[in-house]
């Protein structure tokens, strides 16, 4: 079974919609609506009771066609024999063998080849109460959400586990919030689902093949503006879990560093996860209601304050070994590159590397205008006072930068990062192709 996406990237996701009603019927010979994967490695004892329990629960409570897939990733005990036996004896169960170890690798392989429109997985110990399964996948079937996760850290969740695991789980999620700005509450709960159209575009971007697979998938989906639904769960810790906490934590931290670096440099083509124009109600043009200006102003102000502080620190450092004009030029040049990159991503929501060089070149033109304003202010100060204090220089530069800020925003908005979004198309016509780079204002959910 291939480990890459069998569907492959197609450019953008289709419009999210409720699954067709005919695909939900039991009496029609169609592929299952839900494919639940149970990744296992040396689980010969826990596998049979878990599969029977899950299958019985689905048969009693789940209103749609389903399939349970046992994904055996390189087990060395009798798990292959047990899994194959279950697939032969139990309806709606199949067994898949992978010769390489790794939970993420197993999930990628099975999900990529699955014919079900909704894909899910759960740990073999079934620590999560199965009554949360239908609430987990219902938003995906209805078209409301793109991914869904069980959360042990939600307010209404009821969890029984030791203090050590509780501490590690909460500390890890704090790390994700602080380093990758993640907003989902529980990255590692073994109870997740996603739509197959999302998986076809998202899985090729996920590099990890082990325990960090979940986190990386969620971070990329969230950064691309996909909607993640969270379900509070009842969860009881498995005291016989084979997960090595320290080793897993170390691998997760390496993954956090790798993904954070890739996001910082724009190395991930997240634009392929964009929904088409019109899928988001914020795409609708409402008369008299500004669409992106308020958010852009807030982002620009935040970036501007940070850039000004950065610029003043650079100026003070350069001023210790050079004149005021040279220090101003160097500080402005360095801060201008950082300012353009920050505004590109945070203010105007441009992702990926497309036109990045052009944007920086245009940003340098804006920088030249700022340089002319601030240099002119310094020249006027020198002409007015031969021996102005360092504090006076900084005050003049702050005023000059404030004057240049308004012009900078107008140039960035109208020239460097113009709104290239496609206008809504009349009913019955095909929408225009998506641009090569997209704006967070319409895709962030």
Contact indicator for 177, 212 with CB cutoff of 8 Å: no
pLDDT score of 105 = 95
Mean pLDDT calculated for residue range 261-279:
79
Q: What's the angle, vertex CA 377, arms to CA 375 and CA 379, rounded to 5?
A: 70
Does the structure show a pLDDT above 80 at 289? no
What value does the mean pLDDT of the chain take? 82
Mean pLDDT calculated for residue range 79-96:
96
Question: Rounded CA gap, 297 and 303, in Å?
Answer: 10
What are φ and ψ of residue 399, in 5° steps?
-60, -45
In 343-418, which residue ranges form alpha helices assigned H by DSSP? Answer: 356-384, 390-411
pLDDT score of 240 = 64
pLDDT score of 4 = 40
Q: Which tokens go with 216?
A: 């990386």
Which of 94-108, 239-253, 302-316, 393-407 comes out lowest in average pLDDT? 239-253
- Residue 187: CB partners within 8 Å, gap ≥ 6? 172, 173, 176, 214, 215, 218
Q: What's the angle, vertex CA 347, arms to CA 344 and CA 349, rounded to 5?
A: 60
pLDDT score of 291 = 56
pLDDT score of 244 = 63
Per-residue pLDDT tens digits for 26-62: 666 678 999 999 999 999 999 999 999 999 999 999 9
Residue 137 half-sphere exposure toward CB, CA atoms < 13 A: 29
pLDDT score of 430 = 44
Which of 137-146, 239-248, 327-336 comes out lowest in average pLDDT? 239-248
Model pTM score = 0.65
Better-predicted residue by pLDDT, 283 or 340:
340
pLDDT score of 241 = 62
| Banded model confidence at residue 275, pLDDT cuts 50, 70, 90 | confident
pLDDT score of 217 = 96
pLDDT score of 10 = 53
Q: What's the angle, vertex CA 94, arms to CA 90 and CA 100, rounded to 5?
A: 140
CA proximity to 242, closest of 45, 36, 35, 94:
45
User: b/e string for 257-268 if b means 16 or more Cβ within 10 A?
Assistant: eebeeebeebeb
Bridge-based pairing of strands 234-236 and 191-195 is: unpaired
Question: Rounded CA gap, 315 and 302, in Å?
Answer: 20
Most confident of 143-152, 268-277, 278-287, 296-305: 143-152
């Amino acid at each position: 079974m291939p480990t890459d996406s069998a569907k492959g990237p197609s450019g953008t996701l289709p419009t999210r919609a409720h699954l067709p009603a005919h695909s939900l019927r039991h009496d029609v010979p169609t592929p299952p609506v839900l494919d639940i994967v149970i990744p296992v490695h040396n689980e010969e004892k826990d596998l049979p009771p878990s599969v029977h329990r899950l299958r019985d629960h689905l048969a009693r409570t789940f209103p749609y066609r389903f399939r349970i897939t046992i994904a055996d990733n390189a087990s060395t005990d009798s798990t292959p024999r047990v899994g194959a036996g279950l697939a032969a004896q139990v309806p709606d169960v199949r067994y898949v063998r992978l010769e390489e170890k790794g939970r993420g690798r197993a999930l990628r392989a099975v999900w990529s080849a699955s014919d079900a429109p909704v894909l899910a997985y759960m740990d073999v110990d079934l620590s999560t109460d199965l009554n949360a399964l239908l609430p987990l996948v219902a938003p995906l079937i209805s078209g409301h959400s793109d991914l869904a996760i069980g959360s042990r850290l939600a307010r209404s969740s009821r969890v029984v586990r030791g203090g050590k695991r509780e501490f590690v789980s909460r500390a890890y999620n704090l790390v994700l919030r602080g380093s990758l700005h993640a907003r989902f509450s529980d990255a590692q709960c073994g109870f997740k689902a996603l739509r197959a159209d999302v998986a076809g575009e998202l899985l090729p971007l996920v590099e990890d093949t082990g325990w960090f697979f979940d986190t990386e998938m969620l971070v990329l989906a969230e950064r691309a503006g996909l909607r993640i639904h969270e379900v509070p769960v009842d969860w009881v810790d498995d005291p016989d879990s084979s997960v090595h906490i320290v080793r897993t934590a170390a691998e997760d931290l390496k993954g956090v560093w790798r993904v954070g670096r890739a996001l910082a440099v724009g190395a991930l083509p997240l634009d392929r996860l964009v929904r088409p124009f019109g899928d988001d109600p914020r795409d609708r043009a409402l008369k008299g209601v500004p669409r992106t200006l308020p958010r852009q102003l807030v982002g620009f102000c935040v970036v501007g304050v940070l850039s000004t502080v950065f610029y003043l620190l650079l100026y003070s450092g350069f001023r210790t070994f050079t004149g005021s004009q040279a220090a101003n030029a160097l500080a402005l040049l360095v801060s201008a590159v950082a300012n353009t990159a920050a505004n590109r991503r945070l203010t105007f929501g441009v992702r990926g590397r497309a036109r990045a060089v052009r944007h920086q070149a245009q940003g340098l033109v804006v920088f030249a205008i700022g340089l002319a304003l601030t240099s002119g202010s310094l020249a006027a100060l020198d002409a007015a006072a031969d021996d102005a204090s360092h504090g006076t220089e900084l005050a003049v530069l702050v005023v000059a930068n404030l004057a240049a800020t308004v012009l900078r925003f107008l140039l960035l908005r109208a020239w460097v990062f113009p709104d290239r979004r496609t206008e809504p198309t009349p009913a019955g016509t095909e929408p225009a192709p998506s641009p090569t780079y997209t704006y967070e204002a319409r895709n962030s959910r």
